[in-house]
């Protein structure tokens, strides 16, 4: 399989939704890279996505509010412990309840094991739309990227259930079932439907080569400061159900992103939430 095929899949996704665009620069007076101050970890904020129907996603367990503000670095594992569920959560949704995502401690989980119905349509904003909280955080992060003299391009943000279905049909015809099952989520199992996931590229790398770029290295070092995590790390397909996707970044909020990163550079949302 050609090394760029994964990127082609992402490119098709962009065509399904809209054409590519360069990230807009938005300066922030409170950004740690403007003020020189250390990033602050705010109190735990739910990243449940607000649907157009006004339905609040089901939460199986709530995180403790204490401990988040004390965790300001990647080595604060103990301080982050209170943000994780104490036991393995159980997805008890049935029928119409699947019209909203399975949510654990404020994190919406959408995957092959935790599907969301076609009726779920989050409120999104922007040219490459994201849920409002994710879009705001992403704008702040993109400004920091530009100040570091780097450049990112958005390939894909929110994708509807129908757009994901169209993308998968194309992939099946172009690349076959084995490849498609590994890299293209079935409708109802894609994080893009939540409006909390964004696919990225840079001028010097895209798809399978994105992790060779300076932009990738910057994201690995700083993305958690803005609430984003690498969603599908290398070698963990057995846990996530998806192959390594260096371009796919997921918004979970700053405290949760730092807590996930505190578990390890390649820690997954499933491991953090004790779902794996």
- List residues with catalytic annotation: 245
- Nearest residue to 58 (alpha-carbon basis) of 111, 83, 94, 82: 94
Strand partners, 59: 103
Tokens linked to 163: 């757009």
**What residue has token string 């709530």?**
62
Tokens linked to 202: 């840079």
Contacts of residue 173, Cβ cutoff 8 Å, sequence gap at least 6:
none
**What residue has token string 């904020």?**
45
Q: CB–CB of 171/184 below 8 Å?
A: yes
Query: Hey, is 35 helix, strand or coil?
Result: helix
**What residue has token string 């054409």?**
19
Contacts of residue 164, Cβ cutoff 8 Å, sequence gap at least 6:
185, 186, 187, 188, 190, 192, 193
Q: CB–CB of 117/188 below 8 Å?
A: yes
């Amino acid at each position: 399989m050609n090394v760029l095929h994964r990127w082609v899949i992402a490119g098709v996704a962009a065509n399904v939704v809209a054409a590519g665009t360069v990230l807009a620069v938005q300066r922030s007076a409170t950004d740690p890279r403007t003020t020189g101050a250390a990033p602050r970890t705010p109190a735990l904020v739910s990243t449940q996505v607000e649907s157009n129907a006004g339905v609040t996603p089901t939460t199986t367990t709530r995180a403790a509010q204490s401990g988040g503000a004390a965790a300001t670095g990647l080595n604060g594992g103990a301080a982050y412990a209170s943000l994780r569920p104490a036991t393995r959560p159980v997805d008890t949704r049935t029928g119409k309840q699947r019209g909203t995502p399975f949510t654990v401690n404020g994190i919406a989980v959408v995957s092959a094991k935790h599907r969301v119905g076609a009726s779920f349509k989050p409120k999104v904003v922007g040219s490459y739309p994201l849920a409002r909280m994710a879009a705001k955080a992403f704008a702040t992060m993109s400004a920091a990227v530009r100040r570091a003299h780097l450049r990112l391009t958005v390939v894909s943000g929110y994708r509807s259930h129908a757009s994901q279905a169209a993308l998968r049909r194309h992939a099946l015809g172009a690349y076959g079932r084995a490849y498609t099952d590994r890299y293209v989520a079935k409708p109802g199992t894609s994080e893009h439907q939540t409006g909390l996931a964004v696919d990225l590229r840079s001028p010097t790398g895209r798809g399978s080569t994105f992790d060779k770029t300076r932009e990738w290295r910057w994201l690995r070092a700083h993305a958690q400061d803005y609430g984003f995590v690498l969603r599908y790390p290398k070698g963990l397909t057995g846990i996530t159900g998806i192959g390594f996707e260096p371009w796919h970044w997921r918004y979970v909020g700053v405290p949760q992103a730092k807590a996930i990163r505190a578990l390890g550079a390649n820690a997954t949302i499933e491991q953090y939430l004790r779902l794996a």
